[in-house]
Amino acid sequence: MINFPTCKINLGLHILRRRNDGYHELETAMLELPFNDVLELIESEESTFTTSGLEIPGLGNLVLDAEAEFRIHKSIPTLAFHLHKLIPMGGGLGGGSSDAAFALKLMRDRYAPEIENESLKEMASKIGSDCAFFIDGGLQFATGRGEVLTPLNIDFKNLFVVLVNLGIHVSTKDAYEGVVPNNDRTSLKEILEKPIRMWKDSLVNDFEKSAFAKYAELEDIKNDLYNHGAIYASMTGSGSTIFGIFESEVESIQWSHKVMYEKYLKL
């Protein structure tokens, strides 16, 4: 069986306060985008996890965490996974979380179709803060540490988004260390209710300040997107991918930077 893990962008991200459990209370909106990895599951005599595409650092992977979590709830045979990695790591696109969530969906669809999405979300939330989002995907408002989700309705019809990634890997741990929590401001949800053209001056990602201080080229890309007609541009998640939302398809952009990839996606 094969499926295609998606990615996400964050429409604003407020770090509100540090929690007693060591996590941070936050609020953000996450929008699923159809830029995909490829994940394959087969039954095998030997449990394996192989990859192709972008190199994945480290020995572990959230796909294996998803398998371990699923086995707590359901007896399944020995499995082999292959992940073809296209979504950059450390770019704030949630690719690792998506891979885990889509692994859960593969195993559910093959071995336990009776398990509903709500139960799958509970499993996903134990793996990573963003994982539960990718069970339903779409556009959702997230609170808590990112796992408390409610559907959100914003009209993106006939808009286009550009993703730009320079291959800079931003550590989530380092990103949080550069943020000063702030719980005394206009709620993100209230800002998102305004027309998209009004987001530029009010919809912020708290990780941008420290990321831009360390990597000035990221702020340059954001400014370039605005200079080329974006109605809103921002860094997603803890970085380093920068995205711009446009009212018309962008035929070509002459960047002053070496861009790892550019992706034009109709929302």
pLDDT digits (tens, 9 = 90+) for 34-83: 999 999 999 999 999 999 999 988 767 899 999 999 999 999 999 999 99
Q: 15 with 124, same domain?
A: yes
Whether residue 89 is annotated as binding a ligand: the answer is yes
Full-prediction pTM beyond 0.75? yes
Whether residue 91 is annotated as binding a ligand: the answer is yes
Would you state the pLDDT for residue 260? 47
Average pLDDT over residues 193-200: 96
Q: 7 with 136, same domain?
A: yes
Lowest mean pLDDT among 154-163, 170-179, 253-262: 253-262
Whether residue 96 is annotated as binding a ligand: the answer is yes
Rounded alpha-carbon distances, angstroms, from residue 209 to 176, 204, 230: 11, 10, 20
Q: 139 with 187, same domain?
A: no
Lowest mean pLDDT among 22-26, 181-185, 245-249, 250-254: 250-254
Is 184 annotated as catalytic? no
Q: 129 with 202, same domain?
A: no
Whether residue 146 is annotated as binding a ligand: the answer is no
CA atoms of 223 and 31, how far apart (whole Å): 22
Q: 81 with 213, same domain?
A: no
Contacts of 114 (CB under 8 A, 6+ apart): none
User: DSSP class of residue 205?
Assistant: B
Is 194 annotated as catalytic? no
Q: 82 with 15, same domain?
A: yes
CA atoms of 185 and 148, how far apart (whole Å): 20
Q: 105 with 135, same domain?
A: yes
Of the residues 65, 130, 206, 224, which is catalytic?
A: 130
Domain boundary among 117, 151, 185: 151
Alpha-carbon torsion, ordered 233, 235, 240, 246, to 10 deg: -30
Q: 128 with 47, same domain?
A: yes
Domain boundary among 122, 151, 180: 151
State the residue range of the domain holding 180: 160-266
Q: 257 with 230, same domain?
A: yes
3-class SS of residue 225: helix
Number of domain units in the chain = 2
Whether residue 58 is annotated as binding a ligand: the answer is no
Q: Determine contact, residues 88/260, Cβ cutoff 8 Å.
A: yes
Alpha helices (runs of H) in 112-178, residue ranges in sequence order: 117-125, 133-136, 172-177
Would you state the pLDDT for residue 257? 46
CA atoms of 87 and 93, how far apart (whole Å): 7
Of the residues 8, 85, 105, 222, which is catalytic?
A: 8
* % of residues, the chain, pLDDT over 70: 94
